Amino acid sequence: MIFQPPVLVAQITDTHLFADPTQGTMYGLPTESSFVKVLEKLKQLQPQPDVLLLTGDLSQDETSKSYQRLASLLSPLNIPTYWIAGNHDNLPTMERVLNSAPISAAKYFEMGGWNFFLLNTNVPGRVYGEISPESLEWLEYNIKMTGNKPVLIALHHPPVKINSEWMDKILLHNPEKFLSIINRYPQVKIVLSGHIHQEFAKEINGIHYLSTPSTCIQFEPGNPNFFLDKQPPGLRLLTLYPDGNYTTKIERINYIYECDMAASGY
């Protein structure tokens, strides 16, 4: 039997970059500065990740230049990189700018015996997310084609509630059909999301729902109202084994910052 090594995945999410990094802050935090620190953490990893997943809200101002800044920071890593849009993103601009190796606009790939699906939940002008009927049809058809190989699905908006009243109102607005589909296929192992700016993990029917800290500001877990958290930025690492098992951990950075803790809305 040929040994197949596990796949090391790094998830980075909610970078909220600006065209002009000298002017780009979110609640007082300079988003490019904290993102660069997260990338420095990433560069120190041994071994280096096999693939990088960017799970949305990559820009704060939706400009071409903000995505160009992102690409200029990621390209030197030379890690295959795939992305999805968040509610702060401009999808047509992303498709134009973020589609040159090592960054790909592809929404399906296979690596290390795993099948990766990246779903768009972006609804222009809205904070919440939705998955189109066409995307759901595409997803189910292609899951069927994977046979028994394990599946990871990435999307920006979590499809399950996170026990935070204000956030639960702006997650995926039509999760029922999506959940109905994935619950029919035991090869679906992980649903990976961003959007909530905090670590989250929940297992339902054998599927692991994971969300990850932002590379900039964090939201306080479990709070019914909007409130910033003092936890530092970070990223998620996953080690995916060919048999469908996995391990994961959050890596946070040593980053001292001052943000507007009195902020009352998103």
Secondary structure of residue 149 in the 3-state scheme = coil
Within-domain flag for 159: yes
Within-domain flag for 110: yes
Percent of the chain clearing pLDDT 70 (strictly above): 97
pLDDT at residue 3, as a whole number? 77
Within-domain flag for 257: no
Sequence-distant (6+) residues with CB within 8 A of 18 are 24, 31, 32, 59, 60, 61, 63, 66, 69
Average pLDDT over residues 67-92: 98
pLDDT at residue 260, as a whole number? 65
Contact 114, 240 (CB under 8 A): yes
- For residue 1, what pLDDT band results from cuts at 50, 70 and 90? low
Within-domain flag for 197: yes
pLDDT at residue 33, as a whole number? 94
Question: Can you tell me the distance from the alpha carbon of 201 to that of 148, in angstroms, rounded to the nearest whole number?
Answer: 24
Q: For residue 157, which of 247, 61, 84, 258 has the smallest C-alpha distance? A: 84
pLDDT at residue 262, as a whole number? 58
pLDDT digits (tens, 9 = 90+) for 217-248: 999 999 999 989 989 999 999 999 999 999 99
Q: What is the DSSP string of 161-210?
A: --S-HHHHTTSBS-HHHHHHHHTT-TTEEEEEE-SSSS-EEEEETTEEEE
pLDDT at residue 257, as a whole number? 73
Within-domain flag for 5: no
Within-domain flag for 57: yes
Within-domain flag for 79: yes
Residue bearing the bigger pLDDT, 262 or 163 = 163
pLDDT digits (tens, 9 = 90+) for 12-22: 999 999 999 88
What type of residue is 101? A
pLDDT digits (tens, 9 = 90+) for 156-193: 999 999 999 999 999 999 999 999 999 999 999 999 99
Strands (DSSP E) contained in the chain are 7-12, 25-26, 29-30, 51-55, 81-84, 103-104, 108-111, 114-118, 151-154, 188-193, 200-204, 207-211, 218-219, 228-229, 234-240, 246-252
Indicate whether 264 pLDDT > 90: no
Question: Can you tell me the distance from the alpha carbon of 242 to that of 248, in angstroms, rounded to the nearest whole number?
Answer: 15
Within-domain flag for 118: yes
What is the rounded average pLDDT for all residues in the chain? 95
Which range, of 2-6, 53-57, 79-83, 153-157, averages the lowest pLDDT? 2-6
pLDDT at residue 21, as a whole number? 87
- For residue 261, what pLDDT band results from cuts at 50, 70 and 90? low
Name the DSSP letter for residue 75: G
**Which CATH number is 107's domain given?**
3.60.21.10
* pTM (two decimals): 0.96
- Range of 40's domain? 10-252
Question: Can you tell me the distance from the alpha carbon of 219 to that of 230, in angstroms, rounded to the nearest whole number?
Answer: 8
What's the number of domains the chain is made of? 1
pLDDT at residue 111, as a whole number? 97
